[in-house]
Amino acid sequence: MNEERYILFDQYLQGELTIEERNSFEKQVSENEEFAAEFRTFKEVLAQLDNKFGYEQEREAFKENLSAISDKHFNKERPKVVLMRPWYYAAAASVAILFGLFFFDYHQNPSFNDYNHPGQAHFTERSNTNADLIEAEKTFNNRKFKEAIPFFEAVLKNKKTAEVQYYYGVSLLQANQYKKAETVFNELKSGSAVFKDKSLWNLALIKLKQKDYNGCKHILQTISQEYEDYDEVQELLRALD
């Protein structure tokens, strides 16, 4: 579920973010296509609500009831009671249904974010004299995947190991550089027994992130039952059925 993300969208649209938060938000929109797509969908739903509830009093009733629904969902405080005249009830019901779709994610297709676990990089061949490898590990573990990519490329230029190659591929996936990521994981699955199933899993995630659900399912079915996270493979397969 992405409750925090939808509230962030609303805070941005209402001008409630600080300058730093606003800059960070806009950077995500420009660099993360999935984030940008969800933001566009959120704005479209709000526009539909605005068209449906055109009068100012109705919009205010909508805002108050959305606040109450949100408070109740997050258990932050006892939800406030909003008194409405009878003609507000239909509007409140529509709000609950539409935003229930957001808060509880009632779509049939699984979300990439639910299965995205990049992990932490701790390189076994790390050397204190290899500055690029140190920076690659640090930026990766700080979730600055786009910044980590050139450090990984510098390391791989001098010495290609399956371990470094794997985390390079993960960084590419996180940065939405799908073609490069596919090239890395296809090479790994063919040449490294240790990283074969992990590479297949990430190839499936690339398809999932691009909403190619059939492609994702096809790759998942090739993963060995000996894979350490095979229970998650099965879970995703069930979600795709």
Structural domains in the chain?
Answer: 3-107 (no CATH), 113-240 (1.25.40.10)
Q: Does the structure show a pLDDT above 50 at 232?
A: yes
- Using one digit for the tens of pLDDT, what is the confidence trace for 177-197? 999 999 999 999 998 788 999
Ramachandran region, residue 211 (left: φ > 0; alpha: ψ -120 to 50; beta: rest): left
What does the pLDDT average to over 205-215? 94
- Using one digit for the tens of pLDDT, what is the confidence trace for 69-106? 555 555 544 444 444 444 344 444 444 555 555 554 44
Determine the length of the chain: 241
Tokens of 209: 């992130």
Report the pLDDT value the prediction gives residue 222, as an integer from 0 to 100.
96
- Using one digit for the tens of pLDDT, what is the confidence trace for 125-154? 655 668 899 999 999 999 999 999 999 999
User: CA-to-CA distance for 239 and 153, rounded, in angstroms?
Assistant: 35
- Using one digit for the tens of pLDDT, what is the confidence trace for 21-35? 999 999 989 988 888
Q: Is the dihedral of CA 230, 102, 206, 109 positive or negative?
A: positive
| DSSP secondary structure code for residue 232 in this structure | H
Tokens of 37: 């797509």
Which percentage of the chain shows pLDDT scores above 90?
48
